Amino acid sequence: MTINHDSTLTCPNCGHVEMLAMPSNACQFFHHCSGCGKRLKPLPGDCCVFCSYGDVPCPPIQEQSGST
């Protein structure tokens, strides 16, 4: 299984798009948008900002689901 460590994060507030490297062994709970400065946090039921606003789920979730 190949784990993707890059995700494109889209701010729900301003629509700013950022390509970010995800931590490989932890979920990132907060991220400050570089477009509007808003502090993003996960939606209810998601473990991190990448699972809520990214195009790729975080590595721990990728490992759990077995996705590539």
Give me the number of domains the chain comprises: 1
pLDDT of residue 17: 98
pLDDT of residue 68: 47
pLDDT of residue 1: 72
Task: Return per-residue pLDDT of the chain as tens, 68 residues.
Answer: 789 999 999 999 999 999 999 998 888 999 999 999 999 999 999 999 999 999 999 999 998 887 44
Alpha carbon distance 52, 46 (integer Å): 6
In a domain, 13, yes or no: yes
Domain with 30 in it:
6-63
pLDDT of residue 65: 85
> What is the largest distance, in Å, between two alpha-carbon atoms of the chain?
36
DSSP at 50: H
In a domain, 40, yes or no: yes
The model's pTM: 0.87
